[in-house]
Amino acid sequence: MPKQIKKVAITGGTHGNELTGVYLINKFKKNPTLVKRDSFETIFMHTNVGAMHQCTRYVDKDLNRAFIKNDLCNSEKYTYEDILAKNINEKLGPKGAIKTNVDFIVDLHSTTSDMGLSLVIDNDNNLTWQVAAYLKEMVPNLHVFRWRGDTKEVSFVNSITKEGFAIEVGPIPQGVLRADLFFETEKLIGHILDFFEKLNTSKLEKRYKNIEIFDHIKLVDFPRGEDGELNATVHPNLQDNGYYKLSKGDPLFITLDGEIINYEEDEKMYALFINEAAYYEKGFAMCLTKKENIKL
């Protein structure tokens, strides 16, 4: 782990209809002392103001898939989110640089899936995992999910820096601000900033050696007809059951005619991002994971 963190970024509104991050950034703008610590600077910013104004996920394309290094320097990429990504990369990055303008990015999201408080981690840097392990200790009901991606290169906002992650909270409908998860997310941010303050002032009590995670195995799409339209949806037993442990023979989907489609894998896995509204267009109904205890 580096000895000093100089600047941490908290970003929200990457998806304009995920209001937890939008309104937390609003709150920090009005009262920046809430995220102030003595040993480093905390910056906070809305990332997709255009989508926020429309209360839509994005304007032209998903900003949270727009941070591919080659695209960031491609002058032919000029959609609204392409331009945003280049501007954000200039402010926080640049991505891939030895020294970026900020050291750690926390990007705030919400999901329609029942996932409670979750971290989505897409890098293997030790500092990221040390923060996650600390947060698990502070917030025992926190889930940690290692994302393997739906793109060849990790292209999230937080991928601009080597260290960082996204916070996912749910279930929250799109375009809705939910009080309990708003305050739980704010509290989690406080713990993150406290970690860096302790790190910088040599007050961390220990270095973490392991952490329990849900490790991405694969994405599963809905059953579809030849025309590409859905002919089944998530089974009621699975709906609203984030991190559900699936065993062979468990109901997975139910067709629109009422036929049950079961889980047929021999190996038990855990389902998350179940029936996430925003993922219909991406072509998956859930993510299947394995629970593991990994060494740090």
Q: Which of 208, 229, 259 is the last residue of a domain?
A: 208
Q: Helices H, strands E: what count in the chain?
A: 6, 13
- On whether residue 11 sits in a domain, the answer given is yes
- On whether residue 80 sits in a domain, the answer given is yes
Same structural domain, 251 and 169 = no
Same structural domain, 225 and 129 = no
Same structural domain, 82 and 109 = yes
Q: According to the model, what pLDDT value does residue 151 have?
A: 73
Q: According to the model, what pLDDT value does residue 18 have?
A: 98
Same structural domain, 177 and 225 = no
Spatial separation of the C-alpha atoms in residues 129 and 84, rounded to whole Å:
28
Q: According to the model, what pLDDT value does residue 1 have?
A: 62
Same structural domain, 59 and 118 = yes
Q: Which of 155, 187, 208 is the last residue of a domain?
A: 208
pTM: predicted TM-score of the whole model, two decimal places: 0.96
Domain of residue 92, CATH code: 3.40.630.10
Domain of residue 236, CATH code: 2.20.25.160
Tokens of 90: 């200039």
pLDDT per residue of the chain (296 residues) written in tens, 0 to 9? 666 899 999 999 999 999 999 999 999 999 999 999 999 999 999 999 999 999 999 999 999 999 999 999 988 888 999 999 999 999 999 999 999 999 999 999 999 999 999 999 999 999 999 999 999 999 999 999 999 877 778 899 999 999 999 999 999 999 999 999 999 999 999 999 999 999 999 999 889 999 999 999 999 999 999 999 999 999 999 999 999 999 999 999 999 999 999 999 999 999 999 999 999 999 999 999 999 999 99
Q: Which of 208, 232, 254 is the last residue of a domain?
A: 208
Domain that holds residue 291: 213-295
| Per-residue CA distances from 279 to 24, 221, 244, 274 (Å) | 24, 9, 18, 9
232-234 and 260-262 beta bridge pairing = unpaired
Residue with tokens 């894998």: 265
Same structural domain, 112 and 131 = yes
Same structural domain, 202 and 224 = no
Residue with tokens 């945003």: 84
Tokens of 103: 């050291």
Same structural domain, 39 and 66 = yes
Spatial separation of the C-alpha atoms in residues 270 and 190, rounded to whole Å:
29
Q: According to the model, what pLDDT value does residue 149 have?
A: 74
- On whether residue 2 sits in a domain, the answer given is no
Spatial separation of the C-alpha atoms in residues 241 and 238, rounded to whole Å:
5
CB 77 within 8 A of CB 63: no
Same structural domain, 164 and 229 = no
Total number of domains in the chain: 2
Reduced to 3 states (helix: H, G, I; strand: E, B; else coil), residue 32 is helix
- On whether residue 110 sits in a domain, the answer given is yes
Same structural domain, 169 and 234 = no
| Per-residue CA distances from 34 to 29, 50, 169, 177 (Å) | 9, 26, 20, 20
Question: Using the 8-state DSSP alphabet, how is residue 107 labeled?
Answer: E
